Structure 1
Amino acid sequence: MEISGEGLDDILIELYRRLLDQGARNKGSRGETIEMLGVALRIAKPRARLSRSENRGKPFSALGEFFWYLTQSNRLDFIEPYIPDYRKEAVDGVVPGGYGPRLFAMRNGIDQVDSVIRLLRYKPSSKRAVIQLFNAEDIALDYPADLGTPFHHPETPCTISLQFHLRDGSLHMSVNMRSNDAVLGLPHDVFCFSMLQEMMARRLGVELGEYLHYVGSMHFYDDRHETLLEYLDEGYQRTFEMPEMPKGDPFEHVDALVAAEGRVRLKERVVAGELLPEPYWADILRMMQVFWSSGDEARLDELKAELQEPAYRAYIEGRRGARLKEPSPREPVDARRKPE
């Protein structure tokens, strides 16, 4: 089954309808699901990566997850405030399936993002520009001979690979998923991977192409049924595209963004425009400030006035009544290697 649309909301509304109409029951790792096999999604405007829905508009947790990738770490203390459910997957304070190290710092020292950029510079028409996230060791475990014995399998990446196609001056991206939670996981995946796609396109000096998303098992869990119905009740949303990333190398801003996030989560008042003079990235930091200022009406009003992109202001309203627990200080992140 293939679904095409301009942006995330176009995809979600059609996908949810088809899951309800055509999905079949299957027992998932966290309970009963409604599932469809072999789903292909095509987004023509990857910058339309944020839902305008009150129900699915979750920019803060998506930004938190994307920042987590950029830290090249899989530590729980970074991501837990944004997505508390990750604590269920953590082992000794880390999330084994976290994507950051797999993207940028494999155990054998390979930076896959850097490798793909180098490959596409050398041979733009290449079909080998693939980043592998699901590895052989993720499934190479000894299972008990007695099928009745309880067995806990460590969480493994839902994403198998990311493939990049540089064609006619545009960078297209194909994401291959073994499994995808249509309600919780899919909006985050589209956001994070299309942000990486745009960063790599800017680094290569080319245009942003289409975003393609292939899923072996697309599903939603029974406890998210009402959430899905509420989204459908809102009806179609006007397509909203995030602003274009500025020309140049976005990876040059990563260290400043990650360092600033660390200061913001400890409630330090920083001026985004001073730390990140480029308005696009200053607004991204302001959105992180909004998250960490949840419930502080006066501070939220200040940040709302500072935002350069008017469309971001609508997401602030949902943070007015929110409350965050005091975050644990996270370990500082050292400077990272950037693609050359």
Structure 2
Amino acid sequence: MRAVFARLLSRSRGNTKVNSRKGYSTEAFGALLELTDPRARLSRSKSRSRVFSALGECLWYLSGSNALEQIQYYIDGYHEFSDDKETLNGAYGARIFAADRGRVTEKYKDQWQRIIGTLREREGSRNAIIQIYANEDGEKKSKDIPCTCTLHFVIRKKLLHLHVHMRSNDVVLGFPHDIFAFTMMQEIAARELDVEVGSYQHSVASLHLYDDTDKLPSRTMARKFVDEGFHDIRPMPPMPKGDPWPAIAVVLDAERRLRAGELDYVPPAGLDPYWNDIIILLRFYAIGKFAPDRDTKPLLGQLSFPGFSLYILDKIAKKSSSGGTTLPLFPETETEDDAND
């Protein structure tokens, strides 16, 4: 993210000024980024640390949902992209995991099952591709056209690599969330296939940084991130080995209950600490939404991975500075990037 921001803030001859539907932006056309350790998927900066909204969006995908209500809980402003104020046309999860929206074949019920089956049958396959942007999207008059085109999974030397191609990527809003969600999917697939995680490649046709507006000072936010200096790299711990979907089902149930206000939800005994930490983060976020005066510091002691404490402490600090009131305790409320650009 530092390299991307620095490039688009620079006067590089490869940058182009573009006027799109959402205003002027600085664009690098044809970018290829690589994350050699996909578990280092979270920024540890003060200005761009995003875990709660990124996690919420990732779980929205994994649930196969296209419901506006679910993602609006984590990201205010999503209603601006809904055609009917109930669903999202471009919801990735519905296109990947839901049989009624995904590309169904006679053998597999959805795209995810197809790519897992393909790689189980032949590790060297080049056909494990999930298509998100569909042909009909080119003619739709929707407010929500997918920015992601394809997810291409390959196994090489017992490592699962993922190459994602996007037609458009706003580096301030969409980019951090995309990296988080897609690398989580990469690790989920690796566990299903009993291989290790390889590298993550992020290919973008239009990688861009918008000019500042009253609503969103994008360039100022990017400059603030760069001016913070370098941050320590602390990858998330490895996902537990074995089929992850039973544990994901528990997490999705917890997410639904917490989003409904069940703040004292307790996960079932025996849940691996990796997934329990995810539920702790979800519980912290729910308390901030429904009961902001409740003391959340005890949740810090329940975390198995200390690296997550940064994000909780940051929110506690913002709550204290705002006098203990409710939102803007959670300023992660940002809209989706580039729906129709």
TM-score range, shorter chain: 0.7 to 0.9
Structure-1 separation of matches of 2:301 and 2:265: 13
Q: Which runs of 4+ in 1 moved over 6 A?
A: none
How many matched pairs? Answer: 304
Q: Does 1:83 align with 2:72?
A: no
Could you tell me the TM-score, scaled by structure 2's length? 0.85
Question: Which residue of the partner structure matches residue 101 of structure 1?
Answer: 94
Report the identity percentage.
38
Structure-2 separation of matches of 1:299 and 1:248: 36
Question: What is the identity, as a one-letter code, of the residue corresponding to 1:209?
Answer: G
Question: What is the identity, as a one-letter code, of the residue corresponding to 2:36?
Answer: A
Structure-1 separation of matches of 2:294 and 2:145: 42
Unaligned regions of 5+ residues in structure 1, if any?
1-11, 142-151, 326-340
Structure-1 separation of matches of 2:38 and 2:297: 29
1:158 to partner: Cα distance: 0.4
Structure-1 separation of matches of 2:54 and 2:160: 22
Question: Which residue of the partner structure matches residue 39 of structure 1?
Answer: 31
Could you tell me the TM-score, scaled by structure 1's length? 0.85
Secondary structure of the residue aligned to 1:84 is coil
Question: Which residue of the partner structure matches residue 228 of structure 1?
Answer: 222
- Of the three residues 152, 170, 195, the one matched with 2:184 is 195
Structure-2 separation of matches of 1:275 and 1:39: 45
Question: Which residue of the partner structure matches residue 59 of structure 2?
Answer: 67
Question: What is the identity, as a one-letter code, of the residue corresponding to 2:20?
Answer: G
Question: Which residue of the partner structure matches residue 337 of structure 2?
Answer: none
Q: Does 1:323 align with 2:308?
A: no
| Structure 1 pair 309–90 and aligned structure 2 pair: CA distance change class (3 A) | same
1:297 to partner: Cα distance: 5.7
Structure-2 separation of matches of 1:183 and 1:195: 20
CA-atom RMSD in angstroms: 1.7
Question: Which residue of the partner structure matches residue 131 of structure 1?
Answer: 130
Residues 276 and 282 in structure 1, CA contact (< 8 A), matched pair in contact too: no
Q: Deviations over 1:226-252 (max 9, x none)?
A: 100100110111111000000111112
1:275 to partner: Cα distance: 5.7
Residues 29 and 204 in structure 2, CA contact (< 8 A), matched pair in contact too: yes
Question: What is the identity, as a one-letter code, of the residue corresponding to 2:242?
Answer: G
Unaligned regions of 5+ residues in structure 2, if any?
213-217, 320-324, 329-341
Alignment of 1:88-237 (within 5 A): 88-92=80-84, 93-106=86-99, 107=101, 109=104, 110-141=109-140, 153-223=142-212, 224-237=218-231
Residues 247 and 271 in structure 2, CA contact (< 8 A), matched pair in contact too: no
Secondary structure of the residue aligned to 2:28 is strand
Secondary structure of the residue aligned to 2:221 is helix
Secondary structure of the residue aligned to 2:233 is coil
